[in-house]
Amino acid sequence: MPAIEPVDHHHFAQIEIFQNLAMETDRFERYTHPHAGRVAAIADEIGKSFHLGPRDRLSLRVAALAHDLGEAAMRRDYIHRDGTLSDDERTDLARHPVLGEYEAAEAGADRGAQLLVRWHHEWWNGGGYPDGLRFEQIPLGARILHVADVYAALTDERPFRPALSEKQARDHLLQWIGVEFDPGVVKALLSLEPFKELTSYYVESTPPDLAAIADDLMGRIDQLGN
């Protein structure tokens, strides 16, 4: 994961604490690959394009590592279960950013990082949660974190679906630009030079060898005829 310039030794230690918490959260959510670390790296690169200062980038990195602490605290099986969530489960899950804000505070995150965790599911058009913020009411860091989180999640495999390709994930962001996502943040992500954390874990399936299948079928038919 690309390094962020620590403000001092205390902040370097803080990043290490949240990296360890992120690994535990990733295990609970059953990500095959490190998720929160990818989100942190992608968010940090987007933050650079907006010329965020070192302290704002530090808060963004901490928030990215902590963004799913609320889900881990809830310990709900439906979080990594195959299938569509019920209405009650969706309502329950919508509590996790607020719980994450609390968990981040307990772990020593600064107030800015805590609020980014709280608001990383707010939508550009006001349709997100938990507070229904819209447009610039949502802090830039939270808008960046939301885009980075969705891109990283889509391009990784989960127990309930395979990873999408980079193109498919980018197409999803473009489809929801101006609705779920801040247009400027999406454009910033799409303009990034390639780096490791942007690479999808998508595996293209090999098409079946129809000729071999036909030969095998004919062989079985011949055996039955004999």
pLDDT in tens, 96-149: 999 999 999 999 999 999 999 999 999 999 999 999 999 999 999 999 999 999
Between residues 218 and 122, which one has the greater pLDDT?
A: 122
Contact of 66 with 21, CB cutoff 8 Å: yes
Rounded CA-CA distance 141/201 in Å is 26
User: Can you give the pLDDT at residue 114?
Assistant: 98
Rounded CA-CA distance 140/188 in Å is 12
Tell me the CA distances in angstroms from 80 to 57, 72, 125, 160, one per residue in order.
Answer: 30, 11, 28, 7
Instruction: Give residue limits of the domains in the chain.
Output: 9-225
Tell me the CA distances in angstroms from 118 to 52, 102, 111, one per residue in order.
Answer: 20, 9, 11
Q: What is the mean pLDDT of residues 43-72?
A: 96
- What's the pLDDT tens digit per position in 186-199? 999 999 999 999 99
Confidence of residue 61 (pLDDT cuts 50, 70, 90): very high
Mean pLDDT of the chain: 88
Q: CB 181: neighbour CB atoms within 10 A?
A: 24
User: Can you give the pLDDT at residue 221?
Assistant: 54
Q: Which CATH architecture has domain 9-225?
A: Orthogonal Bundle (1.10)
User: Can you give the pLDDT at residue 206?
Assistant: 46
Amino acid at 164: L
Rounded CA-CA distance 157/26 in Å is 12
- Lowest-pLDDT range of 78-82, 107-111, 150-154, 214-218: 214-218
Between residues 214 and 138, which one has the greater pLDDT?
A: 138
Tell me the two tokens of residue 7: 């403000």
- Residue keyed to tokens 């690959």: 33
User: Can you give the pLDDT at residue 147?
Assistant: 98
Rounded CA-CA distance 108/18 in Å is 9
